[in-house]
Amino acid sequence: MNEATLPATPVRRDATRARALLELVSSMRFAIALLTVICIASVIGTILKQHEPLGNYINQFGPFWAELFMAIKLNAVYSAWWFLLILAFLVTSTSLCIARNSPKIVADLKAFKENIREQSLLAFHHRAEGTLAETPEAAARNVGQALAGAGWKVRLQQRGDAGWMVAAKAGSLNKLGYLAAHSAIVLVCLGGLLDGDLIVRAQMLWGGKQPYNGGGMISDVPAKHRLPTSNPTFRGNLLVAEGTQSSTAILNQSDGILLQELPFSIELKKFIVDFYSTGMPKLFASEIIIHDRETGEAIPARVEVNHPASHRGIEIYQSSFDDGGSSVKLKSVALDGSDKTFEVDGTIGSTTQLTRGQQAGAEKLTLEYTGLRVINVENLAGNGTGSGMDPRKVDLRDSLKDSLEGRLGAANKIQNKKTLRNVGPSIAYKLRDASGQAREFNNYMLPVELGDGVPVFLFGMRDSPAESFRYLRVPADDKGSIDGFFRLRGALNDAALREKAVQSYARQATDPAKPELAKQLALSTSRALSLFAGAEAGSGKAPGGLLAVSEFLEANVPEGERARAGEVLVRILNGALFELAQASRQQAGLAPLPRDEKTQAFMTQAVLALSDAFAYPAPLAFQLQDFKQVQASVFQVTRSPGHLIVYLGCALLILGVFAMLYVRERRLWVWLTPQGAGSQARMALSSNRKLLEVDREFDRLRDRILGTKP
């Protein structure tokens, strides 16, 4: 009878693939690869500013890269789905690795390996043989007691009449260090996930919460954009102005914000800020009162940088400070020198509607009050002469920032002594047209002495936040105001006053006996002054100023004669403008300007400012007249239960690393066999590291146990 042929058992490919996948996920190379990706992502998140508006990325990197950053969430690396997924895989991989190796490690910790064959001892690098006077049993007990007294864990095994085996081990903490270090990685990642956006995202996914990207009052935001006070973990910002209180924190998301309700409200009684001589903040502190909603208790507290307050498991940190709605009074300044001025009152963060012109269809402008700085400390040191900053570095072509940065830098630079000075308050605002396009302006309230004999008012502007401010320098008159300059600017637009100044200059600059020469000089002066005032269309594109005069010279004077003609024309122009300034003062009923160095410095700066005024992108500027500052504190409020887990993980990581690096696992075997009245001893030592210390330790053990030397 033939035996039936049994079908071969099919190979379960799915099980094989599952085991292979499990081996990969729980392998060391997979965990190291994940750690590498996390490190790269962390570097990107450190270098690239996080949670910035899209416009900032477009200005800095361009539309293509900005859209790419937003698509792969590089603008919010630490809360990106792929970053959280990598962390989750790292936790899974490390946990599987621990699960796979823990039974082996535990078993190895319990085992003394006393069943090792005596012949195997001959294969160890550290081995020795000797003769003892005691019987094998007595020798085994003596050796065991000696090793136990030296801190070894010992187990004795009798193998019948063949002899006794003494098995000892020390340094088992080394393997526990492996478990502690790997467990630390899991704990740190779990703590990071718990304190991150994972729970907030879960509420958005399954709890119906949605980011809010609109405007309006916080009290009007619907409930679907609010997180409850029971939210176990969050990290948000809270802005509180002096004399007010708030109980709703803002959690920034990549596509909007979420509002986090707090179980208490924070009232800011006083904000304290102290500065170094350099103008950098030295101390942020907030005197607050915490109003508990449940008990009604009012708890006073003080919050400083690195010294938070805590209430109901929520930490309150001093993050920054801001304007809390300061009130300002601004006066308009017409760049064409007209006397059509007006004053506006506003608060920082609000807007005022303006109309350019009174006729129908006049352009509508929106004045946005964006910032008030009461203290502006700048380095005004000169080039070792004490003459101050070069004013030509602070105009519409060069920014104040660039000029200051030239005098700051690393310690290895050879720099002149700094002259730090508070140049007073400044107002920042935007002028937005009907199409939504806006320019940003930053004007100083007080004149700044830059070292050229006359202080100047700085009127700054920039087209985008990515640029530095460029400044128009308006010289202060003999009364320390801008009236003298803008009186001269208005006279420049008056044809009658220009003609009067031309005739006055021609009479003073020529011999009365030569009327023809005076007439010719008057014609040249009138032409130059008209070009400078923009009253005569030149051959170029410049609307006026020195650039229009330069374009006229390039078009009408041979190249070889331009330098000499330019010097003559500028001298004529300066003289005519001085006479124009005298005529404007006479018309205003003021005494004429004295012919001294101070007047010369004023006129020098006035000529440059008149020329640069044609490049100013707005028909008017606003000067800060008065203000009432209201400070605000920016607090970071956090509920982070995961930080205790992270602390535990860090402690385990330190212990684990030290255990693996500085604790050596050693095992010692001593095989004792009968030999006459005594016994024959054969010993061997193994260690997980080959160090000179192991050699010395074996020598000490050999001398102590066998009493012999090689």
What are the tens digits of pLDDT across the range 357-391? 544 445 788 999 999 988 887 766 654 333 333 33
pLDDT higher than 70, residue 403? no
| Residue of 280, 99, 167 lying closest to 684 (CA atoms) | 167
Q: Which long-range contacts (CB under 8 A, 24 or more apart) does 379-383 make?
A: 379/404, 379/407, 379/408, 379/418, 379/419, 379/420, 380/419, 380/420, 380/421, 380/423, 380/448, 380/449, 380/450, 380/451, 381/407, 381/416, 381/417, 381/418, 381/419, 382/416, 382/419, 382/451, 383/416
Distance CA 702, CA 361 (A): 106
Q: For 197-232+234-324+631-639, give the CATH class.
A: mainly beta
pLDDT higher than 80, residue 315? yes
What is the model's pLDDT at position 708? 64
568: left (phi over 0), alpha (psi -120 to 50) or beta: alpha
Distance CA 323, CA 427 (A): 12
| Residue of 518, 500, 496 lying closest to 509 (CA atoms) | 518
Assigned token pair, 454 = 């006359």
Summarize pLDDT for 334-351 with one digit per residue, the tens.
888 777 788 999 999 899
pLDDT higher than 90, residue 203? no
DSSP character at residue 617: S
Which residue(s) pair with 679 in the sheet? 132, 674
Assigned token pair, 425 = 């308050």
pLDDT higher than 60, residue 411? no
What is the model's pLDDT at position 30? 86
What is the model's pLDDT at position 407? 45
DSSP character at residue 561: G
pLDDT higher than 60, residue 695? yes
pLDDT higher than 80, residue 491? yes
Summarize pLDDT for 135-176 with one digit per residue, the tens.
989 999 999 999 999 899 999 999 888 899 999 999 888 888
Summarize pLDDT for 412-429 with one digit per residue, the tens.
444 556 667 778 899 999
Query: How large a percentage of the chain has pLDDT more than 90?
Result: 29
Q: What is the mean pLDDT of residues 264-283?
A: 82
Reported as half-sphere exposure (CB side, CA atoms, 13 A), residue 652 has a value of 18
pLDDT band at 61 (very low <50, low <70, confident <90, very high): confident
Which residue(s) pair with 355 in the sheet? 364
Counted residue by residue, the chain has a size of 710
Least confident range of 6-15, 285-294, 322-331, 509-518: 6-15
Higher pLDDT, 127 or 196: 127
Distance CA 585, CA 37 (A): 72
Summarize pLDDT for 69-115 with one digit per residue, the tens.
888 888 888 878 888 888 888 888 888 888 888 888 888 888 888 88
What is the model's pLDDT at position 529? 87
pLDDT higher than 90, residue 684? yes
Higher pLDDT, 397 or 376: 376
Average pLDDT value over all residues in the chain = 84
pLDDT higher than 50, residue 6? no
Distance CA 528, CA 653 (A): 79
Summarize pLDDT for 534-572 with one digit per residue, the tens.
877 656 677 888 888 888 888 888 888 888 888 888 888
Reported as half-sphere exposure (CB side, CA atoms, 13 A), residue 47 has a value of 7
CB 647 within 8 A of CB 184: no
SS3 label, residue 383:
coil
- The pair phi, psi for residue 668, each rounded to 5°, is -130, 135
| CA distance readout (Å), 416 to 82, 171, 390 | 50, 62, 14
Q: What is the mean pLDDT of residues 653-670?
A: 90
Distance CA 39, CA 606 (A): 57
pLDDT higher than 90, residue 280? no
Least confident range of 191-195, 243-247, 305-309, 498-502: 191-195
